[in-house]
Structure 1
Amino acid sequence: MDAVYTQLLAEVGEFRQRYPDVRFVDLISLDIPGHFYGKRYPIEMLEKVAAGSALKLPQNCVLLGTQGGLFKIGDYCFNDGDPDAQRRLVPGTLKLVSWEQQPLGQMLITSDGTQKPIEFEPREVLAQVLGRLGRKGIFPVVAFELEFYLFDSHLRDGLPQFARDPLTGDPDDQPNMHIERLTRFAPVLDEMVETARAQGIDATVITAELGPGQFEINFGHLDDGLRAADWAALFCRSTRGVALKHNYRASFMAKPYLQHPGSGMHVHVSLYDKAGNNLLAADGQKALRHAVAGCLDVLPHCMPIFAPNHNATRRLSATVNVASRASWGFEDRDACLRVPESDAKNLRIEHRLAGADANPYLVLAAILIGLEQGLEQKREPIAPLNDDRSSGVDFPLEMLEAVRSMQNHAPVREGLGAEFVDVYCENKRQDHLAFMNEISAREYRWFL
């Protein structure tokens, strides 16, 4: 542990020397809905934490609902005295926040790796899955791809407005994938990438997507699953901040427009042994088929993770490059699981189901337990879409049904942890009921 403190102290000291004007640092962590919570620390106090002083935050911060409120979940929140829980600094994540008006730093914190980790913290859930795979000699390499929309910074009657073309001033209301859109929106997109890279994120390819003001940015492949999920989470935070600087609103909402494509979180995963051999390529790619079968078995029981809110399920009824059933295929973007063309060394599965607003730690954890189950059970999958366009397994599209399916599924409870599954499902159930507990203007139009 002394070596960790030495590393952290050196990191803080180097940061202070490089950015002497920074007086405060945001210590942040992702909650269950995928929002950052934390505290703003004076830089002097951060140095003390780096040297080993206690860092504690309320345990129940992890349980916040989408709107920030707390729900009664078992004995948590209202019957437990709201206890503090230990957190630790994540080495290598102290970076400058360049999108705020005043100089500021930020650094990830987590309960994983502490003496008593929070079982339902998303990063801890993923850490447990990765640790178990590592003990079995399975080492994932992961890359995230995130789609998002740019809107005008001002809403109209609560509704998003098309982003305005910075060259013409006109709304970008024509869906297309033309490369010229990257040029027109280059000032904000370039700063998004530069800011991501300054956060330590290997942001690579930028694509203009089909929706108006919709873009996708890819990240490099990593042999550290926790860090890959960190990148996805931090990218969302920095992208929103940079967008506001340019008078836009960036959103990872899964389906902001009914008439235009939704935004997804695509995750590329390959599996290797200690010697660097691609496990999916073993036995003439039989292992690939087994892994696919495991993912398809688990997928219907992890829908509250892949589509974590009412809006996210809307995206799954689309007709373009989004699957409405659990399916797979070679070079087929209509499938949940796409196997891109590659050589044996880089053979991988692209999981395309999750919405862009899903929690990246939990999405990756859910994918990995499916791969793990498939490699162990060695079952053949259903036919790929390349052979049968009707191939697929139904999954629940209504939140309460999805929650029941997840909470009662033994392999998911074993793979992700029973305590996490119970807490997460109750959080989603309560969040959904709170969302539905409002009479909308449409109800009055239909039924008054």
Structure 2
Amino acid sequence: MKSHSSSLLAEVRTFRQNHPDVRYVDLIALDIPGHFYGKRYPIEMLEKVAAGSPLKLPQNAVLLGVQGGLFKIGDYCFNDGDPDANRRLVPGTLKPVSWESQPLGQMLITSDDTEAPIEFEPREVLAKVLERLHHKGIHPVVAFELEFYLFDKKLADGLPQFARDPLSDDADDQPNLHIERLSRFSDVLDDMAQTAKAQGIDITVITAEIGPGQFEINFGHLDDGLRAADWAALFCRSTRGVALKHGYRASFMAKPYLQYPGSGMHVHVSLYDAAGNNLLAAHQQQPLRHAVAGCLELLPHCMPIFSPNHNAFRRLGGTVNAATRASWGFEDRDACVRIPESDPRNLRIEHRLASADANPYLVLAAILVGLEHGLEAKREPIAPLNDDRSSGTDFPVEMLDAVRAMQHQAVLRDKLGAEFVDVYCENKRQDHLAFQQEIHAREYRWFL
């Protein structure tokens, strides 16, 4: 612990030397809906925390709803006295924030690896899954891909407007994959990439996607699942900030336009043993088939994680490459679980179902639990789409049905934690009910 504190202290002191104009640092963590919460610390106090002083935040901050309100969930929030819980600094995450008007820093905090981790904290849920896999000799390598839309900074009656083409000042309202769109929006895209790299994120490929103003960013592969999810979470924050600086809004909303493709979170996962052998490629790829079967079996029960809000369900069965059933296939983007073409060393699954606004810690945890379950159960999967285009199993397409399917699933309760499953399901249920507590103008048009 002493050496751990000394390395953190060295990190803070080095940061202060390199950024003498920074007076405050945002200490941030992801809540259940996937939003950052935290506190802004004077840099002097951060040095004390790094040296070993306690860092405490309300435990129930993790339970915030989409709009930031607290729901009564069991004894939490209103019958527990709103207690504080210990957090710790995540080493290597203290970085400058370049998109604010004043010099600022940010650093991730978490309850995992503290004396009393919060069972329903997303990062802690993933940490437990990874720790269990490591004890079994399974070492995941992970890479995220995130799609997002650029909108004009100004809304029109609360609705998003197409991003303005900086060369013509016209709306970028034509869906296409043209490489020229990367050039036309190069200023903001380059700034997003460079800002992410300054956060320690390995940005690789940038793609202009099909939707107007839609892009995709790929990250490098990592043998540290927590860090890979950290990258995805931090990228969303920095990208929104950079977009505003350039006069745009960046959104990871799952389905901002009904007539255009939604935005997804694609996760590539391969599994290795301690010697670096690809476990999925062994025995003529039989473990791959077992892992796929496990993913597909649990997928219908993980829908509140993969589609975490009302809008995310709109993306399913949409215009392009959005599955309507739990399916798999080789080199098939219509499948939930795609097997990209690769050599045995790099054999992996690409899980394509999650929406871009899903919580990356929980998405990865759910995927890994599916793979783990499949390797243990050793069942054969359904036919791939390559052999049968109608192959697939149904999954819930409405939130309340999805919550019911998740809450009592024995494997998820065992491997993700029963306390987390109960808390998460009630959070999603309450968010959904809160969303319904507003009469839309359409209802008056239809029924008045």
CA contact (8 A) 2:141 2:222 kept: yes
2:404 paired with 1:396: no
Q: How far apart in 1 are the matches of 2:30 and 2:319?
A: 32
Instruction: Give the RMSD, CA atoms, in angstroms.
Output: 0.4
1:320 aligns with 2:320: yes
- Return the offset for 1:317: 2.2
TM-score (norm 2): 1.00
* Within-5 A mapping of 1:179-198: 179-198=179-198
For the pair 1:124 / 2:100, whether they are aligned, the reply is no
C-alpha distance in 1, partners of 2:43/2:427?
Answer: 34
Q: State the AA in 2 paired with 1:48.
A: K
Which runs of structure 1 show a deviation greater than 4 angstroms over 4 or more consecutive aligned residues?
none
Query: Residues of 1 paired with 2:3 and 2:266: CA distance?
Result: 36
Q: How does 1:272-311 map to 2 (within 5 A)?
A: 272-311=272-311
Structure 2 counterpart SS, 1:417: helix
Name the structure 1 match of 2:67.
Answer: 67
Is the contact made by 2:110 and 2:123 (CA closer than 8 Å) also made in structure 1?
yes
Hey, what does 2:143 align to over in structure 1?
143
Counterpart position of 2:408? 408
- The alpha-carbon deviation at position 445 of structure 1 amounts to 0.4
CA contact (8 A) 2:150 2:249 kept: yes
Aligned counterpart, 2:264:
264
Supply the distance in 1 between the matched residues of 2:4 and 2:315 (Cα, whole angstroms). 43
Distance 2:320 2:440 in 1: 29
* Structure 1 residues 156-203: Cα deviation after superposition (integer angstroms, max 9, x where no partner): 011000000011100000000000000000000000000000000001
**Paired residue type of 2:98:** S
1:32 paired residue number: 32
Q: How far 1:370 moved relative to its partner?
A: 0.2
Tell me the residue number matched to 1:426. 426
**CA-CA distance at 1:283 after TM superposition:** 0.5
- Post-superposition shift, 1:27? 0.1
**CA deviation profile, 1:385-427 (whole Å, cap 9, x unmatched):** 0000000000001100100100011011111000000000000
Q: For 1:346 and 1:318, how far apart are their aligned partners in 2?
A: 30
Q: Which residue of 2 aligns with 1:6?
A: 6
Alignment partner, residue 78 of structure 2: 78
What's the offset of the Cα at 1:266?
Answer: 0.1
Q: What is the distance in 2 between the residues matched to 1:437 and 1:389? A: 40
Deviation at 1:70, TM superposition (A): 0.1
- Distance (Å, rounded) in 2 between the aligned partners of 1:378 and 1:74: 36
1:283-304 alpha-carbon deviations (Å, 9 max, x no partner): 1000000000000001000000
Q: Which amino acid aligns with 2:344?
A: A
Aligned residue for 2:47? 47
Q: Distance in 1 between matches of 2:111 and 2:119?
A: 9
AA partner of residue 396 (structure 2): P
- Aligned equivalents of 1:250, 1:322: Cα separation in 2: 21
Equivalence map 1:74-223=2 (5 Å): 74-223=74-223
Q: CA separation in 2, counterparts of 1:333 and 1:236?
A: 24
Q: Quote the sequence identity (%).
A: 83
Q: 1:437 deviation in Å?
A: 1.1
Please tell me whether the aligned partners of residues 259 and 319 of structure 2 are also in contact (alpha carbons under 8 angstroms).
no
- C-alpha distance in 2 between matches for 1:4 and 1:299: 38
- Report the AA paired with residue 261 of structure 2: P
Query: The residue matched to 1:383 in structure 2 has which SS?
Result: coil
- 1:345-380 CA distance string (max 9 Å, x none): 000000000000000000000000000000011100
For residues 317 and 162 of structure 1, the distance between their equivalents in structure 2, rounded to whole angstroms, comes to 23
Secondary structure at the residue paired with 1:357? coil
Q: Secondary structure at the match of 2:127?
A: helix
Distance in 2 between the 1:291 and 1:317 partners?
24
Q: State the one-letter code of the partner of 1:210.
A: I
- Relative to the length of structure 1, the TM-score reads 1.00
Deviation string for 1:251-295 (max 9, x for gaps)?
A: 000000000000000000000000000000011000000000000
The CA deviation at 1:31 is 0.1
Amino acid at match of 1:437: Q
Determine if contact 2:340/2:348 at 8 Å carries over to the other structure: yes
Separation in structure 2 between the aligned mates of residue 393 and residue 46 of structure 1, nearest angstrom = 50
- In the other structure, the counterpart of 1:366 is 366
The residue type paired with residue 362 of structure 1 is: L
Amino acid at match of 1:351: H
Counterparts of 2:79 and 2:317, CA distance in 1: 40
Q: In structure 1, how many angstroms separate the alpha carbons of the residues matched to 2:270 and 2:422?
A: 29
Q: Does 1:226 align with 2:191?
A: no
How many residue pairs end up in the alignment? 448
Distance 2:141 2:167 in 1: 40
Give 1:245's aligned amino acid: K
CA distance in 2, matches of 1:201, 1:430: 34
Q: Which one-letter code corresponds to 1:37 in the other structure?
A: Y
- Provide structure 1 residue ranges, at least 5 long, that are not aligned to the other structure: none
What SS does the corresponding residue of 2:74 show, helix, strand or coil? coil
Check whether the contact 2:328–2:337 (CA below 8 A) recurs between aligned residues. Answer: yes
Provide the C-alpha distance between the structure 2 equivalents of 1:437 and 1:129, rounded to a whole number of angstroms.
Answer: 36
Specify the SS of the correspondent of 2:77: coil
Aligned-partner residue type, residue 5 of structure 1: S
Q: Which runs of 5+ in 2 are unaligned?
A: none
Paired with 2:260 and 2:318, the residues of 1 have a C-alpha distance of: 9
Cα distance, 1:319 vs structure 2: 3.5
* CA–CA separation in structure 1 for the residues paired with 2:228 and 2:242: 21
